[in-house]
Chain A
Amino acid sequence: MRVAILRYPGTWSERDFAHAFSVLGVEHEIVWHEDADLRRFDAAVVPGGFTYGDYLRAGAIAKLSPATAELRRAADEGMPILASCNGFQIVCEAGLLPGALVRNTGLEFRCDWVTMRVESDATPFTAGALGELLRMPIAHGEGCWVADPRTLARVEDEGLVALRYVDARGSATPEGNPNGSLGNIAGVRNPQGNVVGLMPHPERCVEPLLGGSDGIRMLGWLAASARPALSTIS
């Protein structure tokens, strides 16, 4: 298992992902967006940051990068892709996931810890975790997930909500919602389940020293699922 960590101009969480994968023992490589060839990899992450300074809209300019075209190809072929924070904004802009991320309703940049409930385990990043509560840090000003009513209904009906913000008691209340996202939606998946995006940062909580280790729940499987050994191919 070898994971590509994409770096666009202005990405800032790629080294946090690299550190997380080092902690978890997952082979990884930071890949510059202009050189992205994901055929050498088994999975990809799109980290957070402020690509292209968030000019125009968060993720808008990055969607035209060669790396995003490559992501689209890899997503179509079923590669597991995790997009966090600005990465989530990029893949939504690129149309790989439904909806869009807009300014937090409170207009504040929120740097805090949130609790999410796993709403779909039909993705490699949440497999076997249905209903579990995960505590992860957030750091964003434009994390309010929105969609038109028809898209929202489709996302809910087809079970594309991967994660929902909840309060301390595990209920999806306004108190548990840090940014005003519709339906308390913290993360969504594509219909195939191989692409997952979320605003929180799993890479920043993989060891107790960082205040929590629930990120392992999302990233740890990468360490377990090794690439098939050549010797098994006859």
Chain B
Amino acid sequence: MNFTATIHVRPKDEVRDPQGEAVAGALRSLGLDIADVRTGKEIVVRFSAVDRASAAREAERMGDQLLANPVIEDFSVELG
């Protein structure tokens, strides 16, 4: 079966995100009342797996072993 996993990767809350801070400053320059910005990335993977449960496990493994670094990042998976 074919699946599409959308993996969202974000810096952990306790890890400083200088990119987010720069973006926050830029958004404030638009006159907006910005409290905080966190940046991350979205990775979309199309793949095959025997069933939905295996697909979910494999997508977790992608996040765990490569797409996110558990030292600094959290990730979440949407399976479609």
Distance A62 CA – B3 CA, assembled complex (angstroms): 27
Name the B residues within 8 Å of A103 (CB-CB): 18-19
Q: By the criterion CB–CB under 8 Å, are B71 and A64 in contact?
A: no
Q: By the criterion CB–CB under 8 Å, are B71 and A107 in contact?
A: no
The stretch of A146-154, A194-202, A223-231 that contacts the partner chain: A146-154
Partner of B67, one of A56, A93, A100, A151: A56
Name the B residues within 8 Å of A212 (CB-CB): none
Distance A105 CA – B17 CA, assembled complex (angstroms): 8
Chain B 1-43 per-residue mask, 1 if CB under 8 angstroms from chain A, else 0: 0000000000110111011001000000000000000000000
Measured CB to CB, the closest approach of chain B to A104, in angstroms, equals 7
- Report the interface size class on chain A: 20 to 34
Partner of A57, one of B14, B15, B18, B69: B69
Name the A residues within 8 Å of B67 (CB-CB): 56
Chain A 124-155 per-residue mask, 1 if CB under 8 angstroms from chain B, else 0: 00000000000000000000101111010000
Most buried by B among A93, A106, A147, A148: A148
Q: By the criterion CB–CB under 8 Å, are B16 and A100 in contact?
A: no
Distance A185 CA – B67 CA, assembled complex (angstroms): 26
Indicate whether B50 reaches chain A with its CB closer than 8 angstroms: no
Indicate whether A102 reaches chain B with its CB closer than 8 angstroms: yes
Distance A92 CA – B69 CA, assembled complex (angstroms): 10
Given A100-B71, A151-B71 in contact, is the A146-B18 Cβ separation under 8 Å?
Answer: no
Q: By the criterion CB–CB under 8 Å, are A107 and B18 in contact?
A: yes
Q: Count contacts between A and B, CB distance < 8 Å.
A: 40
Indicate whether B53 reaches chain A with its CB closer than 8 angstroms: no
Name the A residues within 8 Å of B69 (CB-CB): 57, 60, 93, 100
CB-nearest residue of chain A relative to B11? A102
CB-nearest residue of chain A relative to B68? A57
Partner of B66, one of A64, A102, A106: A64
Indicate whether A99 reaches chain B with its CB closer than 8 angstroms: yes
Q: By the criterion CB–CB under 8 Å, are A148 and B66 in contact?
A: no
Distance A147 CA – B12 CA, assembled complex (angstroms): 11
Distance A93 CA – B70 CA, assembled complex (angstroms): 10
CB-nearest residue of chain B relative to A108? B18
Indicate whether B72 reaches chain A with its CB closer than 8 angstroms: yes
Measured CB to CB, the closest approach of chain A to B38, in angstroms, equals 13
Q: By the criterion CB–CB under 8 Å, are B19 and A146 in contact?
A: no
User: Can you pick out 27 interface pairs between chain A and chain B where the beta carbons lie within 8 Å of each other?
Assistant: A57-B69, A60-B66, A92-B71, A99-B71, A100-B69, A100-B71, A102-B11, A102-B15, A102-B16, A102-B18, A102-B72, A103-B18, A103-B19, A104-B18, A106-B18, A107-B19, A107-B22, A144-B18, A146-B15, A146-B16, A146-B71, A146-B72, A147-B71, A148-B12, A148-B71, A180-B16, A180-B18
